[in-house]
């Protein structure tokens, strides 16, 4: 019934591209020019004259480009119809299809708004406008189980469109281990339904007792622990309520967790993730040194690095000079063949630089013009991820304010609410981005653009566009030096990714 009314009143027409503006120009460190065709996402070598012509005209003029192009580019223009205006219509059917077929639907249960830490950069610290703060509110068992049942129902229904879905139920807070009781209830409930899912949890790592660790590993809960590097780095921001640093406790618990994973013989199927935050002032070389030193202890880790949003804690702008030292090292390392030992020391730098290079390198090439995902800047479709707050309201993400609800545990997803969010986003996106060549690789995110109950894309655009052109320049500078650099890099990434394929095993065993 829900599907029948889905997006029934919702249709967005988006005209993509205004021409010369739909082509990007960037230069490598070696001084060579390239153009980025926003219609197909192809990168093409360009002469100085052609690059200059493109840069100095507002509107696309294919005849002018053809005139200035060399023979190979002319042939490519004919073959692939490059630099063409494509119209894409974002219809309710396309959006619904995306929601049904999305392979990694996730429900994130915000079990409590409380936390036993007071990290200085915490998004719930009160330093971030519009975000909630720590409270004593907790999720009731009934709310958690109703939400999970809704999720199970959706996944079962959507499997008809994408049988290979890999569902994930995640535990989040505040600090989710303050509600270990509820975690146990949810796991028991899901198992009793027979529903196959992966479980995951993001924790500050301070409350991991032996009993809790044994339970989590036994039930294949993939655990992400926050660790910001060495004791000095970590304790600068990650502190208990009494301001004491947490490094010693967290580090000790990570060791216990890894020992239990080993004891249960799950090293190959249950990776632990480390989440690390850094500031503009962070010495990234020192951070890298810490993780390389600890690689034997943390060898099963994957992880994510996040730059702390600027608050009064840090000034925007300048990045620590160690960042460019590390980048130069990294580019050198991926440009030369690596042995296993060297590869194992690269993981931190890959988390730091590799992900964005990978996005640029592995971008979708659309030889027949844009698909619809590019016209949302690759933002997800709300509902593919459901964050449930303590009251049972569904939100589109755990990192966004409560201004964008998309349903609740009683009624399920509110399709009209989802439609309104996508419509608002699309309006802003069309206004700001319709002539930008980088729509498909911009990686825009609702959470980073949220402003009140609407979005401000303009605010992040200038730095974003510069970042993209810098990434493309770095990527192609590296490829000019070693055309195989990204192949080696991709092969290495594959070996890391293979580790995460083990999630499927985890799911089968649940
Ligand atoms: S552990 Fe997480 S929720 Fe708790 S204060 Fe630190 S960042 Fe915030
Ligand atoms: S935010 Fe800026 S860089 Fe990103 S797609 Fe929009 S116009 Fe382009």
Q: What is the pLDDT of residues 20-29, one digit of tens each?
A: 468 999 999 8
Is 48:38 a contact under the CB 8 Å cutoff?
no
The pLDDT of residue 480 is: 87
Q: Using DSSP, state whether 114 is helix, strand or coil.
A: coil
Closest residue to atom 5 of ligand 2, CA basis: 439
pLDDT tens for the chain, residues 1 to 510: 222 223 333 333 333 333 346 899 999 989 999 999 988 888 999 999 999 899 888 787 888 999 999 999 999 888 888 887 666 666 777 778 888 888 899 999 999 999 999 999 898 988 888 888 999 999 999 999 999 999 999 999 999 999 989 999 999 999 999 999 999 999 999 999 999 999 999 999 999 999 999 999 999 999 999 999 999 999 999 999 999 999 999 999 999 999 999 999 998 888 888 888 888 888 989 999 998 888 766 655 555 666 665 444 444 455 678 888 888 888 888 777 666 666 667 778 877 887 778 778 877 777 665 565 566 777 888 999 999 999 999 999 998 999 999 999 999 999 889 888 988 998 888 888 888 888 888 888 898 899 999 999 988 888 888 888 888 998 898 888 877 777 655 444 444 444 433 333 333 333
| Pair 441, 359: CB distance under 8 Å | yes
- 122 alpha carbon to ligand 1 midpoint, in Å? 5
Q: From residue 392, give the alpha-carbon distance in Å to each of 106, 154, 182, 253.
A: 15, 16, 14, 31
d(CA 207, CA 220): 18
Residue 307 pLDDT: 64
User: For the residues of 388-438, what is the DSSP string, one character each?
Assistant: E-TTSEEES-TTS-TT-EEEETTTEE-HHHHHHHHHHHHHHHHHHHTT-TT
Report pLDDT for 2. 26
Q: For residue 452, report the distance from its CA to the centre of ligand 2, in Å.
A: 20
Q: Does residue 510 have a cis peptide bond before it, meaning omega lies within 30 degrees of 0?
A: no
User: What residues does ligand 2 touch, defined as CB less than 6 Å away?
Assistant: 377, 432-433, 436, 438-439, 442, 444, 457, 461, 464-465, 468
Residues within 6 Å of ligand 1 by CB: 115, 117-119, 122, 124, 173-175, 204
Cα 55 vs. chain centroid, distance in angstroms? Answer: 32
| Nearest-angstrom CA–CA distance, 51 and 16 | 22
Nearest CA to ligand 2 atom 2: 461
Q: For ligand 1, pick from 113, 171, 172, 174 the residue to mutate: most ligand atoms within 8 Å of CB.
A: 174
pTM surpassing 0.95?
Answer: no
Ligand 1 atom having least distance to the Cα of 173: 3
Q: What's the rounded Cα separation, in Å, for the pair 24 and 35?
A: 5
Q: Which ligand is nearest to the CA of 442?
A: 2
What confidence score (pLDDT) does residue 62 get? Answer: 85
Q: Determine the distance separating the centroid of ligand 2 and the alpha carbon of 62, expressed in angstroms.
A: 23
Looking at ligand 1, which residue's alpha carbon is closest to its atom 6? 119
Residue nearest to ligand 2 atom 3, measured at CA: 465
Question: Which H, E and C letters describe 366-381, residue by residue?
Answer: CCCCCCHHHHHCCCCC
112: CB partners within 8 A, 6+ apart: 137, 138, 139, 173, 174, 175, 176, 178, 179, 390
- Percentage helix, strand, coil, to 5, in the chain? 45, 15, 40
Q: Which residue has the tokens 């630099």?
A: 83
Residue nearest to atom 8 of ligand 1 (CA): 122
Q: Which residues contact 436 (CB under 8 A, 6 or more apart)?
A: 21, 22, 38, 442, 465
Q: For residue 397, report the phi and psi dihedrals to the nearest 5 degrees.
A: -170, 155
Buried b (16+ CB within 10 A) or exposed e, 240-279: beeeebbbebbbebbeebbebbeeeebeebbbbbbbbbbb
Q: Which residues contact 205 (CB under 8 A, 6 or more apart)?
A: 225, 226, 227, 246, 249, 250, 253, 254
């Amino acid at each position: 019934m829900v599907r029948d009314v889905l997006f029934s009143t919702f249709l967005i027409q988006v005209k993509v591209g205004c021409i010369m503006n739909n082509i990007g120009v960037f230069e490598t460190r070696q001084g060579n020019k390239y153009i980025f065709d926003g219609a197909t996402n192809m990168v093409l070598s360009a002469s100085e004259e052609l690059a200059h012509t493109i840069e100095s005209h507002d509107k696309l003029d294919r005849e002018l480009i053809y005139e200035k192009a060399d023979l190979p580019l002319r042939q490519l223009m004919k073959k692939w119809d490059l630099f063409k205006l494509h119209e894409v219509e974002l219809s309710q059917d396309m959006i619904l299809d995306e929601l049904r077929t999305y392979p990694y639907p996730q429900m994130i249960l915000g079990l409590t708004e409380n936390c036993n830490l007071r990290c200085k950069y915490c998004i719930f610290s009160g330093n971030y406008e519009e975000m909630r703060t720590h409270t004593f509110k907790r999720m009731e068992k009934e709310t958690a189980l109703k939400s999970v049942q809704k999720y199970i129902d959706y996944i079962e229904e959507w499997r008809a469109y994408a049988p290979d879905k890999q569902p994930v139920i995640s535990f989040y807070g505040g600090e989710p281990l303050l509600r270990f009781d509820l975690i146990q209830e949810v796991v028991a409930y899901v198992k009793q339904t027979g529903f196959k899912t992966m479980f995951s949890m993001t924790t500050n790592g301070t409350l991991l007792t032996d009993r809790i660790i044994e339970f989590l590993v036994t039930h294949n809960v993939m655990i992400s622990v926050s660790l910001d590097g060495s004791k000095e780095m970590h304790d600068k921001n990650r502190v208990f309520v009494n301001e004491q640093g947490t490094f010693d406790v967290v580090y000790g618990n990570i060791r216990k967790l890894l020992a239990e994973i080993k004891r249960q013989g799950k090293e190959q199927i249950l990776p632990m993730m480390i989440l690390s935050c850094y500031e503009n002032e962070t010495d990234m070389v020192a951070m890298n040194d810490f993780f390389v030193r600890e690689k034997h202890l943390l060898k099963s880790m994957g992880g994510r690095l996040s730059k702390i949003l600027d608050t009064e804690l840090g000034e925007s702008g300048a990045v620590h000079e160690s960042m460019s030292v590390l980048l130069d090292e990294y580019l050198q390392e991926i440009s030369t063949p690596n042995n296993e030992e060297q590869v194992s020391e690269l993981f931190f730098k890959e988390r730091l630089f590799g992900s964005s290079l990978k996005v640029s390198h592995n971008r979708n090439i659309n030889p027949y013009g844009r698909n619809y995902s590019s016209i949302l800047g690759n933002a997800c479709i709300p509902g593919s991820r459901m964050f449930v707050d303590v009251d049972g309201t569904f939100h589109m993400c755990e990192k966004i304010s409560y201004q964008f609800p998309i349903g609740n545990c009683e009624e399920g997803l509110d399709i009209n609410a989802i439609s309104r969010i996508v419509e608002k986003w699309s309006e802003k996106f069309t206004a700001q981005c319709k002539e930008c060549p980088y729509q498909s690789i911009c990686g825009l995110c609702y959470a980073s653009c949220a402003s009140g109950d609407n979005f401000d894309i303009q605010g992040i655009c200038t730095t974003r566009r510069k970042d993209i052109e810098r990434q493309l320049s770095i990527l192609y500078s590296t490829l000019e030096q070693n055309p195989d650099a990204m192949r080696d890099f991709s092969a290495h990434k594959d070996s890391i990714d293979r580790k995460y394929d083990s999630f499927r095993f985890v799911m089968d065993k649940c």
